[in-house]
Structure 1
Amino acid sequence: MIIYRYIAYQVAIGFMIATAVLLPLFSFFDLLDQLEDVGKGTYRVTDAFLYTVMLLPRRFIQIAPFVALLGTVVALGKLAVHSELIALRVAGISPLRISLAPLGVGMLLLLGVAILEQFVAPQLQQKAIANRAVALQLSAELGRNLGIWTRNERSILRIGQMMHAKQAADIEILQLDQEGFLLTHTLAQYADIKDDDRWELNNVTVRTFKDGEISATRHAFLNWSSFLNPDDILTLTKLPESLSPLELVRHVEFLRSTGQDMDSYALALWRKVGSALMTIAMLLLSIPFVFGSIRTGLSNKLVFAALIGIAVYLLDQIIANTGLILRLNPAFIALVPGFAMIILATLWLRRTF
């Protein structure tokens, strides 16, 4: 037990070192990107720094597989350089038993990532995006000048702009009959969202289509029972990657039940699972990486591990984007890279041990 605690301690230190190197690097690129917008609207340097800081949990989640890879290589490579791995082997401790300590620390890393993914990163990322949009005087919208579109079985809703959580502007509502023919077209300048299902439309024009004739009426105010609740509206205006797993599950089900395209949201959900698989794969890959060449210098191991990490990251991005364009199954797109790396790492483990 003392040996396992010692190895686990060294691996935890390795994870911290990898995080201390990778997280500031990725955050620096985020900051450079934000500094380009300084001076637009009321966006200032302090806003750019605050945005970058609030994105730190999300960036840590994204680099977790590579923290696992580089951190384990740093820890075990250091033990190898100091001949401690050889001493452990001479003492009768097999490489498989030695590898249990890094795997245990890796499971703790995955637990921490899961907590951040559900309770910390989405909230901070969404707040950062909202603050940035306010400072840059941007509205939340999907599509290019198309607004937010959603529907249920009988209605189609377009929201031109979300001014804030309780007010929307440039509203269109299309009401359909059972055969899918247009019954009414409602156009409102803006809407005050009163509660879960009641919207107060302002400056409203309602066109009715009946028996080949079109009639129009105008109203200063008109109440409408919406099929969206405030949470659904806010979800529609958020990036898929900024949603928590539970939010993604609910939204994917909502899109499926209303017959809408859910691929990007389903892919974001499955990629969270795929990231966990990739973290496990990187842990497995790092162990034979060190044991397979104990005499090799630590710096060479780190360079090679970094190159592998970059290659895997780029390949994962290519597969995800290509699969989305080709409309492949989101679960297949997200899980295949992780499973493939686990298989390769397992084969390497068997060959090494």
Structure 2
Amino acid sequence: MKICHRYIGLQVLTGMIIAAAILLPLFSFFDLLDQLDDVGKGTYTTREAFLFTALLMPRRFIQIAPFIALLGTVGALGALAVNLELVAMRVAGLSPLRISLAPVAIGGVLIVSTIALEYFVAPQFQQQATVLRAVALEQGAELGKGLGIWTRNEQNILRIGEMLHKKRAMDIEVMHFDRQGSLTAHVHARYADIFDESIWKLHDVTVRAFSSNHISLRKMHTLQWHSFLGPNDIASLTKLPESLTPMELVQHAEFLRTTGQKADAYIMALWRKVGGAIMTIAMILIAIPFVFGSVREGLGGKLILAALIGISIYLFDQIIANIGLVFQLNPVIVSVAPGLILIAIATHWLLRRTF
């Protein structure tokens, strides 16, 4: 039995490698086409468009992992079914349930691989790609076009016009409020150097202090300010939520919560990573019934049907995620529920029907 499990596992692993070799270049080609539209703007060249696409490939692999699992499993087990190898295994006493354990185990290997990429490769590469493109297109890191980066804590509002890099911010505004919500001071600096321990050195500073009947104005060459943001917090503000590691998402979501800001997008991004792992297992379980039915339609028909199901599930998952953000639904339910529902369907309906 162990020999059969190893053989099935090897075939499924080979199928997933083939599926990845087809899907990853296909999705990367679409990314490249999108980038080629911007070639010629600023200093963005064809070489940088190819480099951007290459740096984005680990992220794309993580995103399409569930569909690699689906097509790889259908292709591998379908080939075994067409060659009557599955029939021989069942005659030898191997039940469909035990045959299914090998693909699930390989799915676990795929999940571990995506987790490793999520922590050590994809975020760093995606952030490098984003910086590369922004610099070439002469784009500042901002949350709203022409508005800059905005954040706050209980008694301060901070606006950063542009982040040149992690240690240098341009066009700084700081608004201080008292506990009653009245504006007490407004600070503007042409730029700021950001140091450790949340210490900012403001340059070319204008300070306006407000009292009940008086406004005072002071100008200074430099001013040291103890910010409520550290360099890591600033870096998180200028990155897409999906480009952060799970630990960074947890830390930044906690920061936003403690400063009274909405963290929905970051919490959703975190739980979407968990949902992706669940979806990978769900896709494998959905793939299994394809190969225990009739083999008359051949492997091609099974792969086409699996691809259509995969596309439908992908669109459904994206729609649910966007609805969750718009209507501020529970991010855990929105992210995890689709995969759990599919697992329930596969185990209680599709798998039960074939067994």
User: Common fold, TM-score beyond 0.5?
Assistant: yes
- Distance in 1 (alpha carbons) for counterparts of 2:82 and 2:195: 66
| Partner AA of 1:189 in structure 2 | R
Number of the residue aligned with 2:21: 20
- Distance in 2 (alpha carbons) for counterparts of 1:336 and 1:90: 37
Stretches (4+) displaced over 4 A: none
Number of the residue aligned with 1:249: 250
How does 1:1-353 map onto structure 2 within 5 Å? 1-347=2-348, 348-353=350-355
| Partner AA of 1:37 in structure 2 | D
Task: Give the SS at the match of 2:196.
Answer: coil
TM-score, normalisation: structure 2: 0.98
Query: How far did 1:291 drift?
Result: 1.0
Query: How far did 1:94 drift?
Result: 0.4
Query: How far did 1:214 drift?
Result: 1.7
Cα distance per residue 1:36-57 (max 9 Å; x no partner): 1111111111101111111111
| Partner AA of 1:346 in structure 2 | T
- Distance in 2 (alpha carbons) for counterparts of 1:41 and 1:226: 34
Query: How far did 1:212 drift?
Result: 3.2
Cα distance per residue 1:110-159 (max 9 Å; x no partner): 00000001110000000111111111111111112211111112211111
Work out whether residues 270 and 330 of structure 1, in 8 Å CA contact, stay in contact via their aligned partners in 2: yes
Unmatched runs of 5 consecutive residues or more in structure 1: none
TM-score, normalisation: structure 1: 0.98
Query: How far did 1:201 drift?
Result: 0.9
Work out whether residues 191 and 199 of structure 1, in 8 Å CA contact, stay in contact via their aligned partners in 2: yes
- Distance in 1 (alpha carbons) for counterparts of 2:294 and 2:122: 38
- Distance in 2 (alpha carbons) for counterparts of 1:148 and 1:163: 12
- Distance in 2 (alpha carbons) for counterparts of 1:257 and 1:194: 22
- Quick check: 111-120 or 196-205, which moved more? 196-205
Task: Give the SS at the match of 1:300.
Answer: helix
Work out whether residues 78 and 290 of structure 2, in 8 Å CA contact, stay in contact via their aligned partners in 1: no
Percent of matched pairs sharing the same residue: 62
Query: How far did 1:227 drift?
Result: 1.0
Task: Give the SS at the match of 1:99.
Answer: helix
Task: Give the SS at the match of 2:216.
Answer: strand
| Partner AA of 2:199 in structure 1 | R
Query: How far did 1:303 drift?
Result: 0.2
| Partner AA of 2:243 in structure 1 | S
Query: How far did 1:178 drift?
Result: 1.6
Query: How far did 1:165 drift?
Result: 1.4
Aligned residues: 353
**RMSD (CA atoms):** 1.0
